[in-house]
């Protein structure tokens, strides 16, 4: 039986000091700093070029990402890609990652249903995200949804109030923005609200275009 992680254990001792994102990804593959590794198929580390200008941070991999071993390859990732294309932002300028690198899920019949990561799981995984930001050094960090926004900008941050605002002097990157998670757009209750939420999400992403074209 694998040893249970201590309640205050984090990934920090596993983080390599050199070697960039590839070394981080390799080390994170064996991460057991919280118990989620037992539930997920594999660690889903960030993806994209080390020299990316924008880092998008989501909550955690979903079902498809867990199986594929890559972030934002499912429906949320497709909507993000469409938003980047609409904004004229080259996808190769973006690195995508998550606050938590294992899929947390609960069984419902034969399906695996997303479960929200808790504060302990987020804290255990945080050293990976900090190391990714330090390695990529993006011009802009974009938090997708409340979990990412509150992890990076503080528990009091409200995406509903401050979405789309370009923030400076956060200590994370020259620019930081939070917007909704693309899954919330996909979950909008009817066609009309889905169209509206998609347009608002795309408008937020469009604000990044002038920054990365500089």
Residue choice 37, 72, 175, 201 for contact with ligand URA (CB under 6 A): 72
Q: Which is nearer to ligand URA, 6 or 62 (CB)?
A: 62
* 71 lies in the site for ligand URA, by CB under 6 A: yes
Nearest to 95 by CA among 186, 173, 161, 189: 173
Q: What is the rounded distance in angstroms from the CA atom of residue 158 to the CA atom of residue 145?
A: 10
Answer yes or no: are the C-beta atoms of 178 and 162 closer than 8 Å: yes
**Total residues at the site for ligand URA (CB under 6 A)?**
12
Q: How far is the CB of 123 from ligand URA (least distance, A)?
A: 17
Nearest to 94 by CA among 52, 44, 61: 52
Q: Which is nearer to ligand URA, 9 or 157 (CB)?
A: 157
Q: Which is nearer to ligand URA, 40 or 71 (CB)?
A: 71
* 117 lies in the site for ligand URA, by CB under 6 A: no
**Residue sitting closest to ligand URA (CB):** 58
* 66 lies in the site for ligand URA, by CB under 6 A: no
Among 72-80, 151-159, 162-170, 203-211, which window interacts with ligand URA (CB under 6 A)?
72-80
Residue choice 61, 83, 127, 138 for contact with ligand URA (CB under 6 A): 61
Please report, as residue ranges, which positions from 41 to 60 form the binding site for ligand URA (by CB under 6 A). Answer: 58-60
Q: How far is the CB of 191 from ligand URA (least distance, A)?
A: 22
Contact code string over 79-98 relative to ligand URA, x by CB under 6 A: -------------------x
3-state secondary structure the chain: CCCCCCCCCCCHHHCCCCCHHHHHHHHHCCCCCCHHHHCCCCCCCCECCCCCCEEEEECCCCHHHHHHCCCCCCHHHHHHHHHHHHHCCCHHHEEEEECCCCCCEEEECCEEEECCCCHHHHHHHHHHHHHHHHHHCCCEEEEECHHHHHHHHCCCCCHHHHCCCCECCCCCCCEEEEECCHHHHHCCCCHHHHHHHHHHHHHHHHCCHHHHHC
Please report, as residue ranges, which positions from 118 to 177 form the binding site for ligand URA (by CB under 6 A). Answer: none
Q: How far is the CB of 143 from ligand URA (least distance, A)?
A: 10
Residues that bind ligand URA (CB under 6 A): 58-62, 65, 71-72, 74, 76, 98, 183
């Amino acid at each position: 039986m694998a040893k249970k992680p201590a309640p205050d254990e984090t990934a920090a001792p596993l983080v390599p000091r050199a070697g960039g994102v590839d070394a981080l990804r390799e080390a994170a593959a064996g991460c057991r700093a919280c118990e989620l590794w037992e539930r997920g198929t594999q660690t889903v580390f960030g993806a994209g070029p080390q020299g990316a200008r924008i880092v998008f941070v989501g909550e955690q991999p979903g079902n498809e990402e867990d199986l594929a071993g890559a972030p934002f390859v499912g429906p949320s990732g497709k909507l993000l890609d469409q938003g980047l294309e609409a904004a004229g932002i080259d996808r190769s300028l973006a690195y995508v990652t998550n606050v938590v690198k294992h899929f947390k899920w609960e069984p419902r019949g034969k399906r695996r249903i997303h479960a929200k990561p808790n504060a302990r799981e987020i804290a255990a995984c945080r050293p990976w995200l900090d190391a990714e930001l330090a390695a990529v050094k993006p011009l802009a960090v974009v938090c997708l949804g409340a979990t990412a926004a509150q992890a990076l900008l503080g528990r009091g941050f409200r995406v509903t109030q401050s979405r789309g605002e370009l923030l400076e002097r956060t200590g994370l990157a020259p620019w930081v923005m939070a917007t909704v998670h693309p899954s919330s757009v996909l979950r909008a209750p009817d066609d009309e609200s889905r169209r509206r939420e998609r347009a608002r999400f795309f408008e937020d992403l469009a604000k990044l275009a002038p920054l990365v074209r500089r």
